[in-house]
Structure 1
């Protein structure tokens, strides 16, 4: 590995559901948990946004 490799941007941590976790350190596991928590919050926010839009559209057509 050369010094030039250290200057490259590091790949963003990703998590694949069902992947082998045995080789990860405690810090890596905690980082993945935080990554997944952030993603869950993003998914829930989008679901709420879409549900609100659907409810507004349904009420518009019911009037």
Structure 2
């Protein structure tokens, strides 16, 4: 390990919407796609959770 490792620019660990993709390798692009697909799944799960909670509340107050 070099003493200059801290001086190297670090690659961002997450994808930034609208960032320049031209300098990324195919593997880096695939990794970002996987990261974003996982985030989409997480967001969809949260939407489903909130929708079911809202529906349960609506049913409770309709009775």
Name the TM-score, length of structure 2 as normaliser.
Answer: 0.82
Secondary structure, aligned partner of 1:14: coil
Q: Distance in 2 between matches of 1:40 and 1:27?
A: 20
Question: Which structure 2 segments of 5+ residues have no match?
Answer: none
Moved >2 Å (runs of 4+): 10-13
- Say yes or no: does 1:27 pair with 2:27: yes
Q: How many residues align?
A: 60
